[in-house]
Amino acid sequence: MQRRTFLQSTLATGGIAAMPILTSAEDRPLKLPRHFFELRTYALKEGKQEILDTYFQTALIPALNRFGIKQIGVFYETPAPATPLALLIVPYQTLDQMGAAAMALEADAEYQKAAAPYLTIQATDPVYDRIESSLLHAFETMPQLEAPPKRGRLFNLRIYESHNEAASKKKIEMFNRGEIEIFRRVGLSPVLFGEAIVGTRIPNLTYLLSFEDDKTRGEAWNRFRADPEWLKLKAIPEYEDKRIVSKITNKLMTPAPYSQI
């Protein structure tokens, strides 16, 4: 069992005390503070993925790591859509840490130097069309990100939209009441679960699962669908999908070679 790692530095502009950050599912204590996850989606222009990858790998991720922000993920949708999408996931211990990190980037000379090729791109030749960003608050029963083993190289991103806030809360309750634990048992290995508190198409919840490959993904979902505890849970009338879920977005993602998730 790995020991929990601790943030060894604080953001100079944030004054944030060190807090434990999870390194694996084996390290989950019973009670942990609920973290926040920023999800940024970059709609890339043709031929610009290398520029964005270089920026992430040599500038942004090293700077955030220096600020004590670890386990940053970068993913690309597979198979690649006509407009390539890059997904950046940044976990924060507190909202204060998130705000302090943004200010610290502006004051960090090492970051500014490494990021210069990306930040000085001209308007006539942009790297991306736009960035869409959402902020998630971790679920009570999965309060922090759980990094999978490096053998897990296929990820499943799923977004559940609901017709109103009460319905979304009911679906979150369903996950907290037992669905996440069923996921773990059948091999749907969770990486994060979060409720969107800022972003597009709210109310919604988002979760990320990891697998060794597409074969193990299919097998795990089949076990889930046939699981007796799942069949009991979904049979509860207040948890019927038609009452609490209006749309599900399902994407398969592969991590960039330098991704920390």
Instruction: For 126-149, write each residue's pLDDT tens digit.
Output: 999 999 999 999 999 999 999 998
pLDDT exceeding 70 applies to what percent of the chain?
88
Range scoring the smallest mean pLDDT among 17-26, 134-143, 171-180: 17-26
pLDDT surpassing 70 at residue 4: no
Asked whether the beta carbons of 39 and 133 are under 8 A apart, the reply is yes
Alpha-carbon distance values, 16 to 11, 12, 63 (Å): 6, 8, 16
pLDDT at 30: 56
pLDDT at 248: 98
Given the structure tokens 């897990």, which residue do they identify?
A: 152
* Phi and psi angles of residue 229, each rounded to the nearest 5 degrees, phi first: -65, -35
Asked whether the beta carbons of 46 and 34 are under 8 A apart, the reply is no
pLDDT at 83: 85
Tallying the residues shown for the chain, one arrives at: 261
pLDDT at 15: 39
Which residues are within 8 A (CB) of 143 and not within 5 positions of it... i.e. 6 or more apart? 32, 33, 34, 35
Given the structure tokens 């920026």, which residue do they identify?
A: 55
CA 145 to chain centre: 8
The sign of the CA dihedral 141, 147, 149, 152 is positive
pLDDT surpassing 90 at residue 8: no
* Longest pairwise C-alpha distance within the chain: 57
Confidence (pTM): 0.86
Where in the chain are the domains? 33-138, 139-256
Matching CATH topology for 33-138 and 139-256? yes
Task: Report which of residues 82 and 142 the model is more confident about.
Answer: 142
pLDDT at 110: 98
Looking at domain 33-138, its CATH architecture is 2-Layer Sandwich (3.30)
pLDDT at 101: 97
CATH code for residues 139-256: 3.30.70.100
Instruction: For 27-76, write each residue's pLDDT tens digit.
Output: 444 578 999 999 999 999 999 999 999 999 999 999 999 999 999 999 99
